[in-house]
Amino acid sequence: MNDPQQAPWDGLVVGVSLATLDGGSGYGEVEDAALGWREGTIVHAGPRTALPADPNALSGAVIDAGGGWITPGLVDCHTHLVFAGDRAGEFEQRLQGMGYEEIARAGGGIASTVRAVRSAGEDALLEQSLPRARALTADGVTTLEIKSGYGLEFDGERRMLRVARRVGEELGVAVRTTYLAAHALPPEFAGRADAYIDAVVEWLPRLHAEGLVDAVDAFVERIGFTAAQARRVFEAARALGLPVKLHADQLSDGGGAALVAGFDGLSADHVEHTGEAGVQAMAAAGTVAVLLPGAFHVLRETRLPPVDAFRVHGVPMAVATDCNPGTSPLLSLRQAMQLACTHFRLTPEEALRGATVNAARALGLRDRGVLRPGMRADFVHWAIARPAELCYWLGGQLATSVHAGGRRIA
């Protein structure tokens, strides 16, 4: 597959440096490099000198990038991107002193977005969601996770998952769908959380049979669901062979990280309050810690996730936008990387790995996140002089081209 004499290739970029991330540490830097691909798969990611004297013998589509860097395509492994309306008013309320839980208990928060989503048709929901997805892809995202969880009824959850699939089809970006009906208690089930979990478990095989579910998530927290209730959802997912992940330990240490690790979960997300026992359980299970600095920033939190403990125990750390209308209205994964460095003290290399190879792992994807022959041809060309600039600049347009599966999408 990586024999440079095999032809024809679908595309070849020369005159560029690569941050391959191929290896356990460092950027995997290759200067004066070339990247070639065929049928959506990388066939060469290495020195330009390894190519024949005439690159046109390999591909009729040779691009001289004229400098800059290519990295793997970014993977946003935690988003709530499909929703209707916004919650800008809550942003103002928080600035005036109201807390997240206080807003939620007053009928705001997730409940307000649920009302907006339930009143929106599928096409309207798609129309509102596409600009957010386009913003993410324009800034380097080639794989995108999208959760349900704002319908909280069968038709609403189904509509959200269908729109998530359509986002991928419209933009040519890979979308992984996550069933998050156990996100909040809908008003019609007030005081009957166990009965609602019965419904969540009953809906899951129906939606899975329609090809709408790639993974299952839940929210374990004082204002969410108990660990016992999430366990029931996870057992239903396991019966269908579906992987699980969890909104864990965001506002308190409720044992969420250990719970999801006990199910060999793909990831525990947020994890600001995860204790030593949870970290060790994640390490033993290979569960990824997904850091969400956007929500930390917007909510002006002060409790840092246990980054040092994750490092000591070898827990992979991913970084995601958590794009949602209430606590993380963030439309740039690169900005999330910058916030992870600023707030959580990740290094730029850790942040880049967190938005590529570790984020792919948090979705159960082993065919992307690294520039290596045989991997999916997801890559971004950046107008930068060194990889650390991806976490240095606050905003701005650094991506000059974005390819997913060898096809340019931005």
Binding-site members for Zn(2+) are: 78, 80, 247, 322
DSSP assignment string, 198-216: HHHHHHHHHHHHTT--SEE
As annotated, the binding site for N-formimidoyl-L-glutamate includes 150, 324, 326
Helices (H) and strands (E) counted in the chain, each on its own, are 15, 16
Q: How far apart are CA 226 and CA 255, in angstroms?
A: 10
Q: How far apart are CA 40 and CA 409, in angstroms?
A: 13
DSSP-derived 3-state class of residue 402: strand
Task: Find the angle CA(41)-CA(264)-CA(325) to the nearest 5 degrees.
Answer: 75
Q: Which of 170, 162, 79, 81 is nearest to 121 (CA)?
A: 162
As annotated, the binding site for 4-imidazolone-5-propanoate includes 87, 150, 183, 250, 327
Q: How far apart are CA 347 and CA 326, in angstroms?
A: 28
CB burial class (10 A; 0-12, 13-18, 19+) of residue 226? middle
As annotated, the binding site for Fe(3+) includes 78, 80, 247, 322
Measured torsion, CA atoms of residues 21, 22, 23, 27, in degrees rounded to the nearest 10 = -30
Phi, psi (deg, nearest 5) at residue 220: -100, 110
As annotated, the binding site includes 78, 80, 87, 150, 183, 247, 250, 322, 324, 326-327
> Chain centroid to CA 58: how far?
34
Residue type at 276 in one-letter notation? E
Residues in CB range of 235: below 8 A, 6 or more apart: none
Overall size of the chain counted in residues:
410
Q: How far apart are CA 70 and CA 381, in angstroms?
A: 4
DSSP-derived 3-state class of residue 393: coil
